[in-house]
Amino acid sequence: MNEFTLVEELLAGDYRSIARAITAVENGDAGAAELMKAVFPRTGKATVIGITGAPGAGKSSLVDKLALNYKENGDKIGIVCVDPSSPFSGGAILGDRIRMATLGMEKGVFIRSMATRGNLGGLARATVDAVAILDAAGFDKVIVETVGVGQDEVEIVKTADVSVVVLVPGMGDDIQAIKAGIMEIGDVFVINKADREGVLRTQKELESLLSLAHRPDMWHPPIVPTVATESKGIEDLVAAIEAYRKFQTDGDGNRVRQQAIAKWRLLELLQERLLSDLLSRNGTSQKLDKLALEIAEKTNDPYSAVEELVNTK
């Protein structure tokens, strides 16, 4: 299949072409840039929802219930899972298949796990491209699930229209631990596993934390208790997401946010491109190993090594 056909078919919503296109951007295949050039003008219709939180907080369970809720309203849903800790193994693919079987893949739900980053990085860039492909392919809601630990994950969630941070009761210490990265980016907070003790206390702690934060857009992030496994609170979550989306599109916050996202994307791409150009120069990759060895043996220092690499013609 040539690229033109691939683009035509993915824009028409063909699942196999969508999957192939995502693989192409993930691998940074030749042709991925042309593909994205064709995809980009068709984006901007979907609502992109980022879901992040500590490992095991119930993100996948919530995403599935959220997707079901949207599906019942007639929306088409794309789901992208980013799990940098697990290699792109049969496990991840099998997991996706099981979820798709429960959610009804052919009936308007598409699930995809992103592979681990290559040695040049690019996981965040690839994920944002995958979201753009799903947007262009006509999905009404695109949900991105990431474990809220690394910088890449935070960056990914920041590119969503609405960022949802998932907590569980009794994680006071964890709130402290993760707040540096993800507390600032939550437009909506969920306290999942609300069937457990300590929901009110966690809510109070969260409220006092949030009262210290000053958002430039003056939005007060709502806190929604849920029990994902029992589908409780899902409608409240849908309403909270919708409320923020409306707030955002009514004000001029959206333009500011979109511009910030665009700038981040540009810098990500530029970084990837410059690094790959540099490393593809004659012998640079091999030089990297030689220099790394020298630095480890203290016969060279990283600063001189970088100068040598940058000055390689």
Ligand X SMILES: Nc1nc2c(ncn2[C@@H]2O[C@H](COP(=O)(O)OP(=O)(O)OP(=O)(O)O)[C@@H](O)[C@H]2O)c(=O)[nH]1
CB of 243 to ligand X, least distance (A): 22
Q: How many residues sit in the footprint of ligand X (CB under 6 A)?
A: 14
Binding map of ligand X across residues 55-74, x = CB under 6 A, - = no contact: xxxxxxx-------------
- Scan residues 118-157 and list those touching ligand X (CB under 6 A): 147
CB of 233 to ligand X, least distance (A): 9
Residue keyed to tokens 């119930």:
58
What's phi and psi for 185, nearest 5 deg? -95, -5
Residue 195 binding target from Mg ion, ligand X, none, CB below 5 to 8 Å by type: ligand X
Residue 192 binds Mg ion, judged by CB under 5 A: no
Cross-strand bridge partners of residue 53: 147, 166
Binding map of Mg ion across residues 22-61, x = CB under 5 A, - = no contact: -------------------------------------xx-
What's phi and psi for 215, nearest 5 deg? -80, 135
Residue 61 binding target from ligand X, Mg ion, none, CB below 5 to 8 Å by type: ligand X
CB of 225 to ligand X, least distance (A): 9
Give 128-148 as a DSSP string. Answer: HHHHHHHHHTT-SEEEEEEET
Closer to ligand X by Cβ: residue 17 or 113: 113
Residue 57 binding target from ligand X, Mg ion, none, CB below 5 to 8 Å by type: ligand X
CA–CA dist 210, 63 (Å, integer): 24
Sole binder of ligand X in the list 195, 205, 294, 308 (CB under 6 A) = 195
Environment class of 258 (CB within 10 Å of its CB; exposed 0-12, middle 13-18, buried 19+): middle
Closer to ligand X by Cβ: residue 141 or 193: 193
Sole binder of ligand X in the list 32, 124, 132, 228 (CB under 6 A) = 228
Residue keyed to tokens 């040049």:
120
CA–CA dist 112, 219 (Å, integer): 31
Residue 160 binds ligand X, judged by CB under 6 A: no
112: which residues sit within 8 A by CB, 6+ positions away? Answer: 19, 22, 78, 79, 80, 81, 96, 130
Q: What angle do CA 127, 54, 268 make, to 5 degrees?
A: 25
CB of 194 to Mg ion, least distance (A): 18
Binding site for Mg ion (CB under 5 A): 59-60
